[in-house]
Structure 1
Amino acid sequence: MFKLLISIALLSLLTACASADFGSPNTYQRYDVQHLGQMEQATIIRVRQVTIESSSDSSGLTSIVSSAASAFLGSQIIGNGRGRYISGALSGAAAGFISQHVSAAMSRHSGVEVFLRRANGQTVVVTQVDDQQFAPGEHVYLVSSGSGYRITH
């Protein structure tokens, strides 16, 4: 029974670990490398903490794969008769539940919404992950590329 629980938990975590891309200003996508981008200076007006949510696995594919694999493993670990089918069904249901909740938790990341005043006086807003700290009045660079805008020091 202990092996069954460990197998379910491990498989659920592994299938739910599909990493969401939140577009870090410190990470470039392959299609942005060696392409011309634009850069301009801007002044930060306001910074607000936000939560960024990714819907990268809205299909539930990780839950289905996790449930099926766990049901198979559960049916192989316990018994030969009807207990085998019951353990398979229970382990599959538990794995689906766990992977769905782990995947939902991993699809959220903390971010910042930054209000900027461009050199031409126009005010714009950029939202990105919070791996850089910004403060009102700070002068930063607003960088545009094929994947959108990012703010950096």
Structure 2
Amino acid sequence: MKIAIISDTHGLLRPEALTAIESVELILHGGDIGSADILSQLAQIAPVHAVRGNNDLNLPWATDLPDHLTLNLNGWPTLLTHDIADVPALLDSLTRLIITGHSHKPLIEWRGDRLYLNPGSAGRRRFKLPVTLALLDIHAEALEPQLIHLLP
């Protein structure tokens, strides 16, 4: 299973992002979406699961979005939430994949038998941080994450 993980679009869905994710089977958005149109565009590529970010909280179209999701991705118990600060209160002992956004700083890090993944920000560049998203190949026995840089 190949999935795209995108976050912090803040109302901007770059053509480079659409090109990078055109062949995925599922899309996860880690919040700070910024516009319902972003989710509509992503849904034209593959099914989308999204959580609200702090900048989505007062937007009428985002009221039905959850603050976090637990998913089973090809046998991998997964937690999707916007802010890593919320992870300790939400973490289940079986969770093996933790996906967050918020910081705009990409992260792919194994902590024991858990993969922590932050795709960074795919929207407007913040400070000198890269503009990125992540692709994740999920096999029954392995996770293969890849960070995709959208701008030089």
TM-score interval for Structure 1 and Structure 2 normalised by the shorter chain: under 0.3
TM-score normalized by the length of structure 1: 0.22
TM-score normalized by the length of structure 2: 0.22
Structure exhibiting the larger radius of gyration computed from Cα positions: 1
Q: Which has the higher contact order (CA 8 A, sep 6+)?
A: 1
Structure 1 or 2: more helix by fraction: 1
